[in-house]
Amino acid sequence: MEFLKSLSPSESLEIIESFSVDPKTEIVSIDHALGRVLSEDIIAKDDVPSFNRSLVDGFAVVSKDTVGAKETSPSFLYTRGTIHVGEEAHISLTPGTAIGISTGAMIPHGADSVIMEEYVRRTSDGIEVTKSVHRGENICFIGEDIKKGSVVLNRGKKINSFDIAVLSALGHEEISVYTKPHVAILSSGDEIVSIRETLTPGKVRDVNRYTISNLLKDEGALSTFLGITKDNLEDITKKLSSVHGFDMVLVSGGSSKGERDFLTQSIKKLGGSILFHGINIKPGKPTIFAQLQGMPIFGLPGHPASCVMVIIRFVFPLLWKIQGRNRVERKKIRGILTTNIPSSIGVEEYVRVEIKEHEDRYYITPFFSKSSVISSFTRASGYVVVPQEKEGYEKNESVEVFLFS
Protein backbone atom coordinates (compact mmCIF):
# COMPACT_ATOMS: atom_id res chain seq x y z
CA MET A 1 0.00 0.00 0.00
CA GLU A 2 1.36 3.43 -0.95
CA PHE A 3 1.09 6.74 0.85
CA LEU A 4 -1.68 9.04 -0.16
CA LYS A 5 -0.31 12.12 -1.88
CA SER A 6 1.82 13.95 0.70
CA LEU A 7 1.08 17.62 1.18
CA SER A 8 3.48 20.46 1.82
CA PRO A 9 3.64 21.74 5.41
CA SER A 10 1.80 24.93 4.44
CA GLU A 11 -0.98 23.01 2.67
CA SER A 12 -1.34 20.74 5.69
CA LEU A 13 -1.53 23.65 8.13
CA GLU A 14 -4.14 25.35 5.95
CA ILE A 15 -6.38 22.28 6.18
CA ILE A 16 -5.74 21.88 9.93
CA GLU A 17 -6.40 25.52 10.78
CA SER A 18 -9.57 25.62 8.66
CA PHE A 19 -11.14 22.84 10.75
CA SER A 20 -14.37 24.16 12.26
CA VAL A 21 -14.37 24.39 16.06
CA ASP A 22 -16.75 25.89 18.60
CA PRO A 23 -14.86 26.96 21.76
CA LYS A 24 -16.94 26.92 24.95
CA THR A 25 -16.67 29.51 27.73
CA GLU A 26 -16.90 29.56 31.51
CA ILE A 27 -16.51 32.02 34.39
CA VAL A 28 -13.50 31.59 36.71
CA SER A 29 -12.10 33.46 39.68
CA ILE A 30 -8.89 35.36 38.98
CA ASP A 31 -7.35 33.07 41.61
CA HIS A 32 -7.68 30.31 38.99
CA ALA A 33 -7.17 32.38 35.84
CA LEU A 34 -3.43 31.91 35.34
CA GLY A 35 -2.77 30.26 31.98
CA ARG A 36 -6.41 30.49 30.85
CA VAL A 37 -7.51 32.23 27.65
CA LEU A 38 -9.76 35.29 27.75
CA SER A 39 -13.06 34.86 25.91
CA GLU A 40 -13.87 38.59 25.90
CA ASP A 41 -12.07 41.91 25.85
CA ILE A 42 -11.35 43.42 29.24
CA ILE A 43 -12.47 47.07 29.23
CA ALA A 44 -11.36 49.33 32.06
CA LYS A 45 -14.31 50.42 34.18
CA ASP A 46 -12.13 52.86 36.16
CA ASP A 47 -9.11 55.06 35.68
CA VAL A 48 -5.91 53.67 37.16
CA PRO A 49 -4.86 55.42 39.24
CA SER A 50 -8.18 57.00 40.16
CA PHE A 51 -6.42 60.03 41.69
CA ASN A 52 -3.13 61.84 41.18
CA ARG A 53 -0.60 60.04 43.40
CA SER A 54 2.97 60.51 44.53
CA LEU A 55 5.64 58.13 43.26
CA VAL A 56 8.09 58.97 46.07
CA ASP A 57 8.38 60.07 49.68
CA GLY A 58 8.96 63.82 49.78
CA PHE A 59 7.08 67.08 49.49
CA ALA A 60 4.31 68.18 47.13
CA VAL A 61 5.31 71.54 45.63
CA VAL A 62 4.63 74.03 42.85
CA SER A 63 7.43 73.44 40.34
CA LYS A 64 7.90 77.18 39.68
CA ASP A 65 8.93 77.59 43.33
CA THR A 66 11.97 75.34 42.74
CA VAL A 67 13.39 76.99 39.61
CA GLY A 68 17.17 77.48 40.00
CA ALA A 69 17.33 75.59 43.32
CA LYS A 70 20.71 73.97 44.07
CA GLU A 71 22.91 72.99 47.01
CA THR A 72 24.60 76.38 47.29
CA SER A 73 21.45 78.37 46.61
CA PRO A 74 18.37 76.44 47.83
CA SER A 75 14.75 77.54 47.53
CA PHE A 76 12.94 77.99 50.85
CA LEU A 77 9.33 76.80 51.25
CA TYR A 78 7.07 76.85 54.31
CA THR A 79 5.56 73.47 55.23
CA ARG A 80 1.81 72.97 55.74
CA GLY A 81 1.34 69.46 57.17
CA THR A 82 1.59 65.94 55.72
CA ILE A 83 -0.61 63.67 53.59
CA HIS A 84 -0.26 59.94 54.30
CA VAL A 85 -1.01 57.07 51.94
CA GLY A 86 -4.67 56.05 52.08
CA GLU A 87 -5.84 59.52 53.17
CA GLU A 88 -7.90 61.95 51.16
CA ALA A 89 -5.98 65.18 50.53
CA HIS A 90 -7.96 67.94 52.28
CA ILE A 91 -5.07 70.41 52.36
CA SER A 92 -4.56 72.76 49.40
CA LEU A 93 -1.14 73.99 48.35
CA THR A 94 -0.38 77.66 47.75
CA PRO A 95 2.73 79.14 46.11
CA GLY A 96 5.71 79.32 48.44
CA THR A 97 4.58 76.31 50.49
CA ALA A 98 5.15 72.55 50.54
CA ILE A 99 3.20 69.62 51.94
CA GLY A 100 4.86 66.41 53.15
CA ILE A 101 3.69 63.36 51.23
CA SER A 102 4.18 59.57 51.30
CA THR A 103 4.70 57.24 48.33
CA GLY A 104 1.26 56.43 46.88
CA ALA A 105 -0.50 59.27 48.69
CA MET A 106 -2.95 61.63 47.01
CA ILE A 107 -1.51 64.81 45.51
CA PRO A 108 -3.08 67.92 47.12
CA HIS A 109 -4.89 70.54 45.06
CA GLY A 110 -2.47 73.17 43.74
CA ALA A 111 0.64 70.93 43.62
CA ASP A 112 2.12 69.96 40.25
CA SER A 113 5.24 68.02 41.29
CA VAL A 114 6.93 66.22 44.17
CA ILE A 115 10.47 66.84 45.38
CA MET A 116 12.19 63.73 46.74
CA GLU A 117 13.17 63.63 50.41
CA GLU A 118 16.84 63.31 49.37
CA TYR A 119 16.84 66.85 47.92
CA VAL A 120 15.40 68.57 50.98
CA ARG A 121 16.94 70.08 54.15
CA ARG A 122 14.46 70.59 56.96
CA THR A 123 14.28 73.80 59.02
CA SER A 124 12.15 74.71 62.01
CA ASP A 125 9.24 76.00 59.89
CA GLY A 126 9.94 74.76 56.38
CA ILE A 127 12.33 73.09 53.94
CA GLU A 128 15.27 74.09 51.79
CA VAL A 129 14.97 72.57 48.31
CA THR A 130 18.38 71.80 46.78
CA LYS A 131 17.24 70.67 43.33
CA SER A 132 14.68 72.03 40.92
CA VAL A 133 11.81 69.82 39.69
CA HIS A 134 9.76 70.06 36.53
CA ARG A 135 5.97 70.01 36.22
CA GLY A 136 4.60 66.48 36.71
CA GLU A 137 7.83 65.08 38.17
CA ASN A 138 7.30 62.13 40.55
CA ILE A 139 3.52 62.14 40.01
CA CYS A 140 1.38 59.44 38.42
CA PHE A 141 -1.71 61.24 37.11
CA ILE A 142 -5.32 60.02 36.94
CA GLY A 143 -5.62 57.40 34.18
CA GLU A 144 -1.92 57.57 33.32
CA ASP A 145 -1.60 53.81 33.84
CA ILE A 146 -5.02 52.75 32.47
CA LYS A 147 -7.69 54.98 30.94
CA LYS A 148 -11.32 54.30 31.79
CA GLY A 149 -13.07 52.74 28.78
CA SER A 150 -9.87 51.46 27.16
CA VAL A 151 -9.33 47.83 26.13
CA VAL A 152 -6.55 46.61 28.41
CA LEU A 153 -6.58 42.87 27.57
CA ASN A 154 -7.78 41.35 24.33
CA ARG A 155 -9.95 38.30 23.78
CA GLY A 156 -7.78 35.31 22.93
CA LYS A 157 -4.90 36.30 25.20
CA LYS A 158 -3.37 33.67 27.46
CA ILE A 159 -3.40 35.19 30.95
CA ASN A 160 -0.09 35.64 32.76
CA SER A 161 0.77 36.88 36.25
CA PHE A 162 1.02 40.51 35.10
CA ASP A 163 -2.42 40.32 33.46
CA ILE A 164 -3.86 39.18 36.79
CA ALA A 165 -2.29 42.26 38.41
CA VAL A 166 -4.16 44.43 35.90
CA LEU A 167 -7.41 42.53 36.46
CA SER A 168 -7.14 43.00 40.22
CA ALA A 169 -6.35 46.72 39.81
CA LEU A 170 -9.59 47.05 37.81
CA GLY A 171 -11.64 45.14 40.39
CA HIS A 172 -12.31 42.01 38.31
CA GLU A 173 -12.90 39.20 40.77
CA GLU A 174 -14.15 36.87 38.01
CA ILE A 175 -13.59 36.74 34.25
CA SER A 176 -14.91 34.83 31.26
CA VAL A 177 -12.45 32.37 29.73
CA TYR A 178 -12.55 29.57 27.17
CA THR A 179 -12.87 26.09 28.65
CA LYS A 180 -9.75 23.96 28.53
CA PRO A 181 -9.67 21.64 25.51
CA HIS A 182 -10.10 17.98 26.45
CA VAL A 183 -7.97 15.67 24.33
CA ALA A 184 -8.22 11.88 24.08
CA ILE A 185 -4.92 10.00 23.78
CA LEU A 186 -4.65 6.52 22.33
CA SER A 187 -1.45 4.45 21.90
CA SER A 188 -1.33 1.91 19.10
CA GLY A 189 1.00 -1.01 18.44
CA ASP A 190 1.56 -4.67 19.31
CA GLU A 191 4.98 -3.73 20.66
CA ILE A 192 3.70 -1.13 23.16
CA VAL A 193 3.37 -2.04 26.85
CA SER A 194 2.66 -0.08 30.03
CA ILE A 195 5.65 1.49 31.78
CA ARG A 196 4.82 -0.73 34.78
CA GLU A 197 5.56 -3.91 32.83
CA THR A 198 8.91 -5.69 32.65
CA LEU A 199 10.19 -5.54 29.09
CA THR A 200 10.38 -8.73 27.08
CA PRO A 201 12.10 -9.09 23.69
CA GLY A 202 10.40 -6.99 21.00
CA LYS A 203 8.44 -4.80 23.44
CA VAL A 204 8.86 -1.07 24.24
CA ARG A 205 7.36 1.06 26.97
CA ASP A 206 4.63 3.58 26.15
CA VAL A 207 6.73 6.74 26.03
CA ASN A 208 4.34 8.72 23.83
CA ARG A 209 1.43 8.58 26.26
CA TYR A 210 3.32 10.60 28.87
CA THR A 211 5.12 12.84 26.40
CA ILE A 212 1.88 13.84 24.67
CA SER A 213 -0.11 14.41 27.87
CA ASN A 214 2.57 16.69 29.31
CA LEU A 215 3.00 18.64 26.08
CA LEU A 216 -0.76 19.23 26.17
CA LYS A 217 -0.66 20.21 29.84
CA ASP A 218 2.04 22.79 29.07
CA GLU A 219 -0.34 24.32 26.53
CA GLY A 220 -3.26 24.45 28.98
CA ALA A 221 -5.20 21.42 27.77
CA LEU A 222 -6.67 18.44 29.63
CA SER A 223 -6.13 14.88 28.45
CA THR A 224 -7.55 11.41 29.03
CA PHE A 225 -5.67 8.24 28.14
CA LEU A 226 -7.92 5.67 26.46
CA GLY A 227 -5.45 2.79 26.53
CA ILE A 228 -3.21 0.80 24.23
CA THR A 229 -4.69 -0.84 21.14
CA LYS A 230 -3.32 -3.82 19.27
CA ASP A 231 -2.52 -3.68 15.57
CA ASN A 232 -5.83 -4.97 14.33
CA LEU A 233 -8.89 -3.33 12.84
CA GLU A 234 -11.32 -4.62 15.47
CA ASP A 235 -9.38 -3.32 18.48
CA ILE A 236 -8.71 0.13 17.02
CA THR A 237 -12.31 0.47 15.81
CA LYS A 238 -13.64 -0.51 19.24
CA LYS A 239 -11.50 2.12 20.97
CA LEU A 240 -12.40 4.87 18.49
CA SER A 241 -16.12 4.04 18.61
CA SER A 242 -16.13 4.94 22.32
CA VAL A 243 -14.65 8.40 21.76
CA HIS A 244 -17.37 10.95 22.56
CA GLY A 245 -17.31 14.46 23.96
CA PHE A 246 -13.64 15.19 23.33
CA ASP A 247 -12.31 18.22 21.50
CA MET A 248 -9.54 16.27 19.76
CA VAL A 249 -8.19 12.73 19.48
CA LEU A 250 -4.48 11.90 19.21
CA VAL A 251 -3.44 8.39 18.22
CA SER A 252 0.29 7.64 18.40
CA GLY A 253 1.47 4.84 16.13
CA GLY A 254 -0.45 3.27 13.30
CA SER A 255 -0.06 6.18 10.90
CA SER A 256 2.27 4.46 8.42
CA LYS A 257 0.62 2.82 5.44
CA GLY A 258 1.86 -0.66 6.24
CA GLU A 259 -0.07 -3.88 6.10
CA ARG A 260 -0.57 -3.91 9.90
CA ASP A 261 -1.67 -0.27 10.27
CA PHE A 262 -5.42 0.06 10.48
CA LEU A 263 -6.13 3.58 11.73
CA THR A 264 -7.38 5.04 8.44
CA GLN A 265 -9.53 1.95 7.82
CA SER A 266 -11.06 2.26 11.27
CA ILE A 267 -11.87 5.97 10.86
CA LYS A 268 -13.59 5.29 7.53
CA LYS A 269 -15.47 2.29 8.95
CA LEU A 270 -16.91 4.54 11.69
CA GLY A 271 -18.09 7.11 9.14
CA GLY A 272 -15.17 9.53 9.40
CA SER A 273 -13.05 10.89 6.60
CA ILE A 274 -9.31 11.25 5.99
CA LEU A 275 -8.43 14.88 5.26
CA PHE A 276 -4.82 14.07 4.44
CA HIS A 277 -2.29 11.31 4.97
CA GLY A 278 1.34 12.35 4.68
CA ILE A 279 3.22 15.63 5.00
CA ASN A 280 6.51 16.41 3.25
CA ILE A 281 8.44 16.73 6.51
CA LYS A 282 11.22 14.90 8.31
CA PRO A 283 10.63 13.51 10.84
CA GLY A 284 6.86 12.90 10.79
CA LYS A 285 5.96 12.24 7.14
CA PRO A 286 3.21 9.60 7.77
CA THR A 287 0.99 11.98 9.80
CA ILE A 288 -2.76 11.54 9.42
CA PHE A 289 -5.37 14.24 9.87
CA ALA A 290 -9.01 13.14 9.85
CA GLN A 291 -12.44 13.92 11.23
CA LEU A 292 -14.82 11.63 13.08
CA GLN A 293 -18.18 12.74 14.44
CA GLY A 294 -17.05 16.36 14.07
CA MET A 295 -13.88 15.74 16.09
CA PRO A 296 -10.41 16.26 14.64
CA ILE A 297 -8.18 13.18 14.80
CA PHE A 298 -4.42 13.13 14.37
CA GLY A 299 -2.63 9.89 13.59
CA LEU A 300 0.86 10.58 14.93
CA PRO A 301 4.06 8.72 14.11
CA GLY A 302 5.00 6.14 16.71
CA HIS A 303 8.65 7.17 16.93
CA PRO A 304 8.87 9.60 19.88
CA ALA A 305 10.90 12.34 18.20
CA SER A 306 8.64 12.34 15.15
CA CYS A 307 5.57 12.40 17.40
CA VAL A 308 6.85 15.41 19.37
CA MET A 309 7.74 17.47 16.31
CA VAL A 310 4.34 16.84 14.65
CA ILE A 311 2.57 17.92 17.84
CA ILE A 312 4.61 21.13 18.09
CA ARG A 313 4.32 22.08 14.43
CA PHE A 314 0.84 20.81 13.46
CA VAL A 315 -1.27 19.80 16.48
CA PHE A 316 -0.66 22.92 18.58
CA PRO A 317 -2.09 25.38 16.00
CA LEU A 318 -5.45 23.57 16.09
CA LEU A 319 -5.28 23.24 19.88
CA TRP A 320 -4.84 27.03 20.12
CA LYS A 321 -7.86 27.52 17.87
CA ILE A 322 -9.97 25.23 20.10
CA GLN A 323 -8.73 27.26 23.10
CA GLY A 324 -9.88 30.46 21.41
CA ARG A 325 -6.29 31.60 21.71
CA ASN A 326 -4.62 34.08 19.42
CA ARG A 327 -2.00 32.69 17.07
CA VAL A 328 1.15 31.96 19.06
CA GLU A 329 4.56 32.93 17.77
CA ARG A 330 7.21 30.55 19.03
CA LYS A 331 10.22 32.12 20.75
CA LYS A 332 13.28 32.04 18.54
CA ILE A 333 16.84 33.28 18.35
CA ARG A 334 19.55 33.47 15.70
CA GLY A 335 22.91 31.78 16.05
CA ILE A 336 25.96 30.49 14.18
CA LEU A 337 26.15 26.85 13.11
CA THR A 338 29.14 24.90 14.40
CA THR A 339 28.78 22.25 11.67
CA ASN A 340 26.90 21.57 8.45
CA ILE A 341 23.25 20.50 8.39
CA PRO A 342 22.65 18.39 5.26
CA SER A 343 19.09 18.01 3.95
CA SER A 344 17.14 16.92 0.87
CA ILE A 345 15.29 19.21 -1.51
CA GLY A 346 11.51 18.76 -1.34
CA VAL A 347 11.26 17.91 2.37
CA GLU A 348 10.97 20.37 5.28
CA GLU A 349 13.30 19.03 7.96
CA TYR A 350 13.33 19.69 11.72
CA VAL A 351 16.75 19.32 13.34
CA ARG A 352 17.14 19.40 17.11
CA VAL A 353 19.98 21.60 18.29
CA GLU A 354 21.95 22.63 21.35
CA ILE A 355 22.62 26.32 22.00
CA LYS A 356 25.71 27.69 23.71
CA GLU A 357 26.43 31.36 24.34
CA HIS A 358 29.94 32.79 24.03
CA GLU A 359 30.96 36.46 23.94
CA ASP A 360 27.38 37.63 23.29
CA ARG A 361 26.89 35.24 20.35
CA TYR A 362 24.88 32.03 20.14
CA TYR A 363 26.49 28.90 18.68
CA ILE A 364 24.21 26.18 17.34
CA THR A 365 25.16 22.50 17.33
CA PRO A 366 22.73 20.01 15.73
CA PHE A 367 21.90 16.52 17.01
CA PHE A 368 21.72 14.05 14.15
CA SER A 369 19.72 11.44 16.07
CA LYS A 370 17.19 9.04 14.59
CA SER A 371 13.47 9.67 14.92
CA SER A 372 13.11 6.88 17.49
CA VAL A 373 15.55 8.61 19.85
CA ILE A 374 13.88 10.66 22.60
CA SER A 375 16.90 11.36 24.83
CA SER A 376 18.19 14.16 22.60
CA PHE A 377 15.21 16.30 23.66
CA THR A 378 16.61 16.49 27.20
CA ARG A 379 19.75 18.15 25.77
CA ALA A 380 18.22 20.09 22.91
CA SER A 381 17.34 23.76 23.40
CA GLY A 382 15.25 23.98 20.26
CA TYR A 383 15.15 23.06 16.59
CA VAL A 384 16.14 24.45 13.21
CA VAL A 385 13.74 24.28 10.27
CA VAL A 386 15.38 23.49 6.95
CA PRO A 387 12.87 24.68 4.30
CA GLN A 388 11.86 22.17 1.62
CA GLU A 389 13.44 24.31 -1.10
CA LYS A 390 16.86 24.41 0.64
CA GLU A 391 19.59 21.78 0.52
CA GLY A 392 20.71 22.20 4.12
CA TYR A 393 22.85 24.79 5.89
CA GLU A 394 26.60 25.20 6.02
CA LYS A 395 28.95 25.60 8.97
CA ASN A 396 29.22 29.25 10.18
CA GLU A 397 25.92 30.12 8.50
CA SER A 398 23.44 32.15 10.57
CA VAL A 399 20.30 30.14 11.33
CA GLU A 400 17.04 30.70 13.20
CA VAL A 401 16.29 28.41 16.14
CA PHE A 402 12.79 27.80 17.48
CA LEU A 403 13.06 27.34 21.24
CA PHE A 404 11.35 24.48 23.08
CA SER A 405 10.74 26.72 26.09
Residues in Cβ contact with 174 at an 8 Å cutoff, skipping those fewer than 6 apart: 27, 28, 29, 30
Query: Tell me, what CATH number does 84's domain have?
Result: 2.170.190.11
User: Is position 4 within any domain?
Assistant: no
Cα 244 from Cα 143, distance rounded (Å): 49
Q: Quick one: 191 and 261 in the same domain?
A: yes
Residue 3: band (very low, low, confident or very high) from pLDDT cuts 50, 70, 90: very low
Cα 377 from Cα 18, distance rounded (Å): 30
What is the CB neighbour count within 10 angstroms for residue 74?
Answer: 18
Q: Is the pLDDT of residue 227 over 70?
A: yes
User: Is position 319 within any domain?
Assistant: yes
User: Is position 2 within any domain?
Assistant: no
Residue 257: band (very low, low, confident or very high) from pLDDT cuts 50, 70, 90: low
Q: Quick one: 114 and 161 in the same domain?
A: no
Exposure string over 86-114, b if 16+ CB within 10 A, otherwise e = eeebebebeeebbbbbbeebbbbebbbbb
Q: Quick one: 220 and 151 in the same domain?
A: no
Query: Tell me, what CATH number does 171's domain have?
Result: 3.90.105.10
**Rounded to 5, what percent of the chain is helix, strand, coil?**
20, 35, 45
Q: Quick one: 210 and 347 in the same domain?
A: no
Q: Is the pLDDT of residue 258 over 70?
A: no
Structural domain ending residue among the three candidates 296, 323, 350: 323
Among 92, 132, 97, which residue's Cα sits nearest to residue 110? Answer: 92
User: Is position 106 within any domain?
Assistant: yes
Condensed to tens digits (0 to 9), the pLDDT of residues 43-66 reads 999 999 999 999 999 999 999 999
pLDDT at 309: 95
Residue 277: band (very low, low, confident or very high) from pLDDT cuts 50, 70, 90: very high
pLDDT at 123: 95
3-class secondary structure, 105: coil
Q: Which domain covers residue 127, as residue numbers?
A: 53-140
pLDDT at 375: 80
Condensed to tens digits (0 to 9), the pLDDT of residues 288-336 reads 999 999 999 999 999 898 999 999 999 999 999 999 998 888 899 999 9
User: Is position 379 within any domain?
Assistant: yes
pLDDT at 2: 44
pLDDT at 405: 86
Structural domain ending residue among the three candidates 140, 168, 190: 140
Q: Quick one: 317 and 203 in the same domain?
A: yes
User: Is position 1 within any domain?
Assistant: no
Cα 302 from Cα 256, distance rounded (Å): 9
Weakest mean pLDDT among 164-178, 189-203, 250-264, 345-359: 250-264
Q: Quick one: 398 and 282 in the same domain?
A: no
User: What is the number of structural domains in the chain?
Assistant: 4
Q: Is the pLDDT of residue 109 over 90?
A: yes
Q: Quick one: 97 and 65 in the same domain?
A: yes
Residue 259: band (very low, low, confident or very high) from pLDDT cuts 50, 70, 90: very low
Condensed to tens digits (0 to 9), the pLDDT of residues 376-401 reads 788 899 999 999 999 999 999 999 99
Q: Quick one: 43 and 171 in the same domain?
A: yes
Secondary structure letter of residue 339 according to DSSP: S
Q: Quick one: 163 and 273 in the same domain?
A: no
Query: Tell me, what CATH number does 243's domain have?
Result: 3.40.980.10
Answer yes or no: pTM beyond 0.75: yes
- Average of per-residue pLDDT across 174-200: 94
Query: Tell me, what CATH number does 385's domain have?
Result: 2.40.340.10
Among 254, 247, 264, 263, which residue's Cα sits nearest to residue 184? Answer: 247
* Beta strands at 288-292 and 295-300: parallel, antiparallel or unpaired: antiparallel
pLDDT at 256: 63
Q: Quick one: 43 and 152 in the same domain?
A: yes
Q: Quick one: 197 and 259 in the same domain?
A: yes
> Please, how many CA atoms are within 13 Å of residue 215, restricted to the half-sphere of its CB?
25
pLDDT at 231: 86
Structural domain ending residue among the three candidates 140, 163, 189: 140
User: Is position 109 within any domain?
Assistant: yes
pLDDT at 376: 79
User: Is position 380 within any domain?
Assistant: yes
Q: Quick one: 379 and 336 in the same domain?
A: yes
Among 377, 383, 384, 379, which residue's Cα sits nearest to residue 207? Answer: 377
Exposure string over 368-390, b if 16+ CB within 10 A, otherwise e = ebebeebebbeebbbbbbbebee
